[in-house]
Protein backbone atom coordinates (compact mmCIF):
# COMPACT_ATOMS: atom_id res chain seq x y z
CA UNK A 1 0.00 0.00 0.00
CA UNK A 2 1.92 3.04 -1.29
CA UNK A 3 -0.36 5.73 0.21
CA UNK A 4 0.23 9.11 -1.45
CA UNK A 5 2.93 9.34 -4.10
CA UNK A 6 4.35 12.63 -5.34
CA UNK A 7 6.65 13.23 -8.27
CA UNK A 8 9.12 14.73 -8.82
CA UNK A 9 10.89 15.06 -5.47
CA UNK A 10 12.98 18.01 -6.63
CA UNK A 11 12.55 20.51 -9.45
CA UNK A 12 14.25 23.70 -10.60
CA UNK A 13 12.32 25.98 -12.94
CA UNK A 14 13.11 29.21 -14.68
CA UNK A 15 10.73 32.13 -14.19
CA UNK A 16 7.86 31.86 -16.65
CA UNK A 17 8.11 28.12 -17.19
CA UNK A 18 5.16 25.86 -16.52
CA UNK A 19 5.10 22.42 -14.97
CA UNK A 20 2.84 19.85 -13.37
CA UNK A 21 3.39 18.31 -9.97
CA UNK A 22 1.97 14.83 -9.89
CA UNK A 23 0.06 13.26 -7.00
CA UNK A 24 -1.50 9.82 -6.83
CA UNK A 25 -3.13 7.87 -4.01
CA UNK A 26 -4.17 4.24 -3.84
CA UNK A 27 -6.45 4.40 -0.79
CA UNK A 28 -9.62 5.30 -2.71
CA UNK A 29 -10.02 8.52 -0.73
CA UNK A 30 -12.45 11.01 -2.22
CA UNK A 31 -10.85 14.09 -0.67
CA UNK A 32 -7.44 15.31 -1.84
CA UNK A 33 -5.60 18.56 -1.35
CA UNK A 34 -2.41 20.48 -2.08
CA UNK A 35 -0.42 22.47 0.49
CA UNK A 36 2.68 24.55 0.29
CA UNK A 37 5.09 24.89 3.20
CA UNK A 38 7.23 27.97 3.62
CA UNK A 39 9.52 28.96 6.52
CA UNK A 40 7.61 31.07 9.02
CA UNK A 41 4.33 30.60 7.16
CA UNK A 42 3.53 27.02 8.01
CA UNK A 43 1.40 24.88 5.71
CA UNK A 44 -1.14 26.68 3.55
CA UNK A 45 -3.90 25.13 1.47
CA UNK A 46 -3.67 25.78 -2.28
CA UNK A 47 -6.49 23.74 -3.82
CA UNK A 48 -8.61 20.81 -2.80
CA UNK A 49 -11.01 18.30 -4.30
CA UNK A 50 -13.90 16.44 -2.70
CA UNK A 51 -14.13 13.93 -5.55
CA UNK A 52 -13.54 13.34 -9.23
CA UNK A 53 -14.64 16.33 -11.28
CA UNK A 54 -14.92 18.65 -8.26
CA UNK A 55 -12.20 21.11 -7.23
CA UNK A 56 -12.12 24.30 -5.21
CA UNK A 57 -9.71 26.98 -4.11
CA UNK A 58 -7.93 27.06 -0.81
CA UNK A 59 -6.09 29.86 0.93
CA UNK A 60 -3.41 30.61 -1.69
CA UNK A 61 -4.69 29.49 -5.14
CA UNK A 62 -3.25 32.21 -7.37
CA UNK A 63 -0.81 30.93 -9.98
CA UNK A 64 -1.93 27.32 -9.62
CA UNK A 65 -4.43 25.17 -11.45
CA UNK A 66 -5.85 21.74 -10.62
CA UNK A 67 -8.12 19.14 -12.14
CA UNK A 68 -9.45 15.81 -10.87
CA UNK A 69 -10.40 13.38 -13.60
CA UNK A 70 -10.00 10.24 -11.47
CA UNK A 71 -10.23 9.42 -7.77
CA UNK A 72 -6.56 8.43 -7.75
CA UNK A 73 -4.87 11.45 -9.34
CA UNK A 74 -4.77 15.13 -8.41
CA UNK A 75 -2.11 17.04 -10.36
CA UNK A 76 -1.09 20.62 -9.55
CA UNK A 77 -0.12 22.88 -12.44
CA UNK A 78 2.04 25.94 -12.20
CA UNK A 79 0.96 28.13 -15.09
CA UNK A 80 3.89 30.58 -15.23
CA UNK A 81 6.39 29.97 -12.46
CA UNK A 82 7.49 32.89 -10.28
CA UNK A 83 10.23 33.05 -7.61
CA UNK A 84 7.45 33.47 -5.00
CA UNK A 85 6.39 29.92 -5.80
CA UNK A 86 9.67 28.53 -4.51
CA UNK A 87 8.43 26.22 -1.77
CA UNK A 88 7.89 22.66 -0.68
CA UNK A 89 4.62 21.25 -1.98
CA UNK A 90 2.68 18.49 -0.25
CA UNK A 91 -0.23 16.51 -1.57
CA UNK A 92 -2.60 14.82 0.87
CA UNK A 93 -5.65 12.59 0.87
CA UNK A 94 -8.26 12.30 3.63
CA UNK A 95 -10.92 10.03 4.91
CA UNK A 96 -12.85 10.82 8.08
CA UNK A 97 -12.02 7.66 9.99
CA UNK A 98 -8.46 7.56 8.71
CA UNK A 99 -7.37 11.16 8.89
CA UNK A 100 -4.92 12.80 6.55
CA UNK A 101 -2.13 11.01 4.70
CA UNK A 102 0.59 13.16 3.17
CA UNK A 103 3.00 12.53 0.33
CA UNK A 104 6.74 12.98 0.76
CA UNK A 105 6.71 16.39 -0.93
CA UNK A 106 8.17 18.17 -3.95
CA UNK A 107 10.87 20.75 -3.32
CA UNK A 108 10.52 23.41 -6.03
CA UNK A 109 12.97 26.21 -6.75
CA UNK A 110 12.11 28.94 -9.24
CA UNK A 111 15.09 30.99 -10.45
Partner 1 sequence: KQEVTQIPAALSVPEGENLVLNCSFTDSAIYNLQWFRQDPGKGLTSLLLIQSSQREQTSGRLNASLDKSSGRSTLYIAASQPGDSATYLCAGTNFGNEKLTFGTGTRLTIIP
For residues 19 and 45, which CB has a smaller minimum distance to partner 1 in the complex?
A: 45
Q: By CB under 8 A, how many residues form the interface with partner 1?
A: 22
Binding residues among 3-42 for partner 1 as defined by CB under 8 A: 31, 33, 42
Identify the residue among 58, 61, 63, 75 touching partner 1 (CB under 8 A). Answer: 58
Kindly indicate which of the ranges 17-25, 66-74, 79-87, 96-104 contains the residues binding partner 1, using the contact rule CB under 8 A. Answer: 96-104
3-state helix, strand, coil in the chain (%, to 5): 5, 55, 40
Handedness of CA 5, 9, 15, 17 (dihedral sign): negative
- Assess 103 for contact with partner 1 (CB under 8 A): yes
Calpha distance 106→102 (Å, rounded):
12
Kindly indicate which of the ranges 14-22, 65-73, 76-84, 90-98 contains the residues binding partner 1, using the contact rule CB under 8 A. Answer: 90-98
For residues 17 and 37, which CB has a smaller minimum distance to partner 1 in the complex?
A: 37
Please name every residue paired with 48 in a beta bridge, in sequence order, or none if there are none: 33, 56
67-83: b or e for each residue (b if 16 or more CB lie within 10 Å)?
bbeebbebbbebeebee
CA dihedral of residues 77, 46, 43, 26 (deg, nearest 10): -70
For residues 17 and 102, which CB has a smaller minimum distance to partner 1 in the complex?
A: 102
Query: Min. distance of Cβ 14 from partner 1 in angstroms?
Result: 24
Amino acid sequence: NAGVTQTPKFQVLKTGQSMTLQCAQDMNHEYMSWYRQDPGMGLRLIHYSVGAGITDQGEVPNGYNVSRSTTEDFPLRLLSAAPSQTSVYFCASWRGDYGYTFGSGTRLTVV
